[in-house]
A = this chain, B = another copy of it.
Amino acid sequence: MEISVLQKERYAYKPKLPESLLHSVSEIAVELGQPTESVANQDELRKIFKHSYGKPIAAFVKGKNEAASRELKVGVILSGGQAPGGHNVIAGLFDGLKKGNANSQLYGLKGGPKGLIENDTIPLKDAIIDEYRNTGGFDIIGSGRDKIETDEQFAASLETAKKLGLNAVVVIGGDDSNTNAALLAEYFLDKGSDIQVIGCPKTIDGDLKNEYIETSFGFDTACKTYSELIGNLCRDTNSAKKYWHFVKLMGRSASHIALECALQTQPNICFVSEEVEAKHLSVEQIVGQICDSVVKRAERGHDFGVVLIPEGLVEFIPEMKKLISELNDAIAANEAQFAAISGFADQLAWLKSHIDAASYNILQSLPAEIAQQFLMDRDPHGNVQVSRIDTEKLLEGMVAKKLAELKKKNAYKGKYSSLTHFFGYEGRCAFPTNFDSDYCYSLGFGAFALISLGLTGYLSSVRNLSEPANKWKAGGVPLTMMMNIEHRHGKEKPVIRKALVDIEGKPFKAFAAAREKWAVETCFLYPGAIQYFGPPSVCDDTTKTLKLEQGK
């Protein structure tokens, strides 16, 4: 296999572990706390998770684990979108298993949860694991977005696990995948099986987070990759002095990525969807905020800047949410009729009498090519495909229009030229930072320890992450503790609650305190490329979000 020089050097990296996992595996014991409750809907969840609700928090401590040398068979799943460090979770799990008993076996369940449903596996041996240590991607066994949902799928999963003789299944995934892990753990218990299920908190979006899960893995690497690029754009525009860059960043539900990138690069403008929703901001206000900055900077002779936009922004603007919902309803109720209308102008005319006047006015105020995106490309349920809406182009177009109006009124005298970007896929498979390499390896090793100690329905947890790795605290958090009931696809479902950006939290407040200055002055920071070697100040730095949250 031909590999890059960096990949070769990264193989030599030895991930750091928390002290509690550095002991011989027979000396890793567990300390259990009090029974826990879910974050909400305790009664309903107690009923759904009859066998697994309310387990105690688990912390690894030095002690005796008589079962540590048991021969184990474990299956591992990579679920959902890629996040840097997934391979190290598997490597940590593998190394733990082999330290316990050289005959223990790890199976990769291929292509996501469907590998378990369909019994599509690959035995993971030393040679394979070594090829993937400290690398990005999920290519070792592939990933997938399937869920184990139907009775048949749950039964098939149990059957595969039994056929393989598995003692445990480890699910590496985000909130949805770990909700699935919780249901699987409960199902196995309900069927009288002792096959354990352990989750690991993955997602570049950073929205699987709570008191015990300080960050999901991949967030660190992805944000640093995006910040490298944003910083480069900042420097470019500060050199050429003639472009406003509109940068959309991955993150449909939460704006953690946009916020972290803003803290790392100090752009002129950054929107945080959670604030937009909380303050009921309108499109006009958002456009106005950008124009304000453009005008003020132009007065200083600075006809350039950078704007960060979270991918999911439109869904958090109340009037846009309303527009989307009305479009969905109107078109669904008149499907054939709407389909027969050809041409955007006629569609618009038809909609005038089928949606609310306010919504119609907004639709009409959008740049034509963007408004068309609301009407074309509907998903199989007939709904607007929000992920296809080029929010960065929407704002770019509306800002240009507004500036032209201001120019006519002599309220703006600058030169305006703009460019758009979308950074997402570029960051999901970068080589994990030293932080993510260490964190993931610890999560995987911790997952082994949880299995070895007989626990099920837990998420592997490593805390105290803004300290050096040896001071990290490892253990497990019961999955049900993070759950509540939410309305999804027309049904009440138990799900892990997403952690949105807390606009009362320290990272947002740090941003809010600085942004007025950034909007007018040029305060850009240039973080540069992720460094894996060299000064600890550069290589071992964590995200600003984590540091601020932990009072650093």
On A, residues with C-beta under 8 Å from B are 2-10, 78, 81-82, 111, 135-139, 142-143, 225, 228-229, 231-233, 235-236, 238-241, 243, 245, 264, 266, 369, 419, 421, 425-431, 523, 525-535, 537-538, 541
Contacts and interface: CB of A to CB of B under 8 A. Distances in A.
B425 A238 contact: no
A428 B537 CA distance: 25
A429 B142 contact: no
A233 B225 CA distance: 12
19 contacts: A2-B525, A3-B525, A4-B528, A6-B538, A7-B528, A9-B537, A135-B235, A136-B526, A225-B529, A229-B229, A229-B426, A232-B426, A236-B425, A236-B426, A419-B425, A421-B425, A421-B426, A429-B526, A531-B533
Given A233-B429, A531-B531, 20 more contacts: A5-B538, A5-B541, A10-B528, A82-B235, A82-B236, A136-B235, A137-B526, A232-B427, A232-B428, A236-B428, A236-B429, A421-B426, A429-B526, A430-B529, A529-B532, A531-B533, A531-B534, A533-B533, A533-B538, A534-B534
A174 to B, nearest CB: 14
B2 A523 contact: yes
Contacts of A239: 78, 82, 137-139, 142-143, 429
Interface centre among A7, A8, A419, A528 (most CB of B within 10 A): A528
B427 A537 contact: no
Given A3-B525, A139-B238, A537 B429 contact: no
A369 B426 CA distance: 26
Contact of A527 (B6, B534, B535): B6
A25 B9 CA distance: 39
B9 A535 contact: yes
A542 to B, nearest CB: 12
Contact of A142 (B228, B241, B527, B538): B241
